[in-house]
Structure 1
């Protein structure tokens, strides 16, 4: 797997995990709050239904109260009129009113008229709960509620029912009405399903937003990577071009040194040897002068070869090491120019790779040459140290300085450009700061890889 893909995954996966975790926690909290709200709603709904039952009973009592208080009617006539009135007061789908006397004998039951006249005082539901007895007890306490199981008229079978009952009339009949709690459960279940649907939709929307965000981030990441890749390729091409140009310039300089230096010297030796040979053949004593001239020219050739060899790789680096070679270079510079030099070098032996050693030595040599020729400085300071696997180097002078824009096309500007290219070719960072009458400072940083 490529490094860019790993970086992209490291950026996306934590965000995805955190977002999913937040969405999950949010969904859980919403679900918990919804359940609490549903329970509160269920409690309030039951309370409102209880109050509604009480109101229904009060209305029914009001409708039959004149009959109950009519003293001119016999008990049978009252039962008949009350039965007729309550049989017509069926409400909703399963709402009706019933009346029992104190012995549990049914007087009114619009839904199951076959129960009229039957004694149901000891009847129990499937849970062993006494139905009529419990209702009579609640009515005798001034009116109250009683829960039990009873057949639902709409044909769904036995359901949980809550009834409210009071005592009415001179015979203290128990009158009541009730509602089936499965209706409340159905309503609560509907609300719960709606809440779950809303939570699910919210979760899906959140995931959709997360996926869209991931796609957008991925596309942006790919676009940035593509752009960075193109920039890196462009930089690599530029670096390769600089390296080729650098090689060409070095070879051209080396060829020029060989042609203008060693080649001319060897040609001079050749001519002097030919002249000496001809003189010896003629037995002339002047042949000795030509041979001595050959020796001088060969000495010059040896020095030129040493200079070229020194330019390719200074022997001082091998003999003394980087620190001593630089100090030797600075001593020669100070002795030759009378410019005061301050050097602070903090390096350990074998700490700097060879390519950086050569580059630094040549950089310092060229910088000192520029200072000697152009700066009119009286003081030069060189600082070199290691910091977190980075070799840092600073060379500054108190000379007349220059404007970087004014020398871009001059030979000095080309020399500075060559210095920068030398440093960048081996992965270093090169900066130069200068201002007229304020001196010049060169800074480089090299990463030392183990």
Structure 2
């Protein structure tokens, strides 16, 4: 696992843990709060309905007192009160009912068929003796009672809250009720709304988490890209300094070979030639040995010169890039026999030493590759200058190289060519054409000394 991955995980794991804990706590607290709020809302809603029921009964009692005061006798008052209760309503399912102390139904606006029936032993679907309990509550001063009863508007048996009182001298129990199925519906709607809010909160947390993860990962990637770029830049600078050091060392060794060892070998050659003039003509053995020694010495001198030239051609430092390239190309033509098309245009401005050295090394490496690997019969080289910069192009008609192998070599191969050119602000391109040769192009916009 890379260091970058470890750093990202180190940032993400605590974030995920904290987010998970926060989400769990939020859900738990949300459930507790929702349950508490629903209970309070249900209690308040139920209390408001119970208050309304008591108000309806109070209004009816006031009307009953008014009827009794204006009636000729109790029988007339009873008849008028029953008629009043039968006609009174306050909602689609709001009506009044009245029973005697023995359970005989006197008034039922929603179900007139019950009038005159003995309901004392009536039980609802839960097994409760409904009328007996209502009478008992009324006898105790009045109050509320919840039971199951058929809802007129739907025909279904639902929960209902009733409020009853009694008319003591008549031995009547009367009251009204409200169906509370709407409370359950409102509670379900509120619960659904709360659930939706919780889900929105969770989605918001998830979105914030994803954004945070994206920020952390992006920061890690940007940091990694920056570090890679910085490392790449440092590596290029180090590579450039290494190349510069190599060129300086080559220049020094080349000078030492040319001015030191080569001069010593030439001095030895002159001494051998002088020694041959002092050998008697009859001593053929000594003369033959000196001649052979001179031949070996000549080969040694040529080898030292070749090595010195390959390390750092003195003509590059003394006469410049064009002379060095011409000498390099002449040696290559003589050595390889490959037909060459050369088009070198002298630049109008002096070329900097680094660019000149880089161009020379590119040509040197390209010629070496052509000679060793390309199996080419023709090579073209051009060096041109225009308004956009300095351009070098080398192409051959050899076997070419596969693209995947174009930068496989090390040392002063194609990879180092590219690095040296790009470090100097130039562009380098290799166009491998298997079976059709290879083309190498290098260009510099800034090349002046």
2:36 match? 36
Q: 1:61 to 1:165 in 2, by over 3 A?
A: same
Partners of 1:81 and 1:169 in 2: CA distance: 18
Contact 2:86 2:109 in 1 (8 A): yes
TM value normalised by structure 1: 0.55
1:115 match? 114
2:134 match? 135
Q: 1:156 to 1:266 in 2, by over 3 A?
A: farther
Contact 1:151 1:159 in 2 (8 A): yes
Shift of 1:13: 5.6
Shift of 1:139: 0.9
1:84 matches 2:83: yes
Partners of 1:219 and 1:251 in 2: CA distance: 47
Shift of 1:165: 0.9
* Local SS of the residue matching 2:125: coil
* Local SS of the residue matching 2:106: strand
1:49 matches 2:49: yes
Partners of 1:195 and 1:260 in 2: CA distance: 95
Partners of 1:32 and 1:254 in 2: CA distance: 87
Q: 1:156 to 1:264 in 2, by over 3 A?
A: farther
* Local SS of the residue matching 2:126: coil
Q: 1:151 to 1:59 in 2, by over 3 A?
A: same
Q: 1:156 to 1:204 in 2, by over 3 A?
A: farther
Shift of 1:261: 5.7
Partners of 1:28 and 1:199 in 2: CA distance: 11
Partners of 2:217 and 2:130 in 1: CA distance: 69
* Local SS of the residue matching 1:97: strand
2:236 match? 237
* Local SS of the residue matching 2:47: helix
* Local SS of the residue matching 1:96: strand
2:189 match? 190
Shift of 1:113: 1.1
Partners of 1:173 and 1:97 in 2: CA distance: 13
Shift of 1:224: 3.8
Shift of 1:72: 2.8
Shift of 1:236: 1.8
Shift of 1:50: 1.9
1:422 match? none
Contact 1:165 1:175 in 2 (8 A): yes
Unpaired runs of 5+ in structure 2?
281-449
Unpaired runs of 5+ in structure 1?
282-450
* Local SS of the residue matching 1:104: coil
Query: 122-131 or 230-239: which moved more?
Result: 230-239
* Local SS of the residue matching 1:178: strand
Provide, for residues 135-161 of structure 1, a one-character-per-residue CA deviation record: whole Å limited to 9, x for no partner.
111111111111211111112411122
2:377 match? none
Pairwise CA RMSD of aligned residues?
A: 3.1
Partners of 2:191 and 2:101 in 1: CA distance: 42
Provide, for residues 180-224 of structure 1, a one-character-per-residue CA deviation record: whole Å limited to 9, x for no partner.
221211111111111112222222233233334434444444344
Partners of 1:79 and 1:253 in 2: CA distance: 137
Contact 1:98 1:176 in 2 (8 A): yes
Provide, for residues 402-427 of structure 1, a one-character-per-residue CA deviation record: whole Å limited to 9, x for no partner.
xxxxxxxxxxxxxxxxxxxxxxxxxx
Partners of 1:248 and 1:25 in 2: CA distance: 69
Contact 2:124 2:147 in 1 (8 A): yes
1:60 match? 60
Shift of 1:81: 0.9
Partners of 1:150 and 1:182 in 2: CA distance: 11
Q: 1:4 to 1:143 in 2, by over 3 A?
A: same
Partners of 1:253 and 1:21 in 2: CA distance: 70
2:438 match? none
Query: 193-202 or 5-14: which moved more?
Result: 5-14
Partners of 1:94 and 1:189 in 2: CA distance: 21
Partners of 2:79 and 2:198 in 1: CA distance: 56
Q: How does 1:235-274 map to 2 (within 5 A)?
A: 235-257=234-256
1:204 match? 203
Q: How many residues are treated as equivalent by the alignment?
A: 281
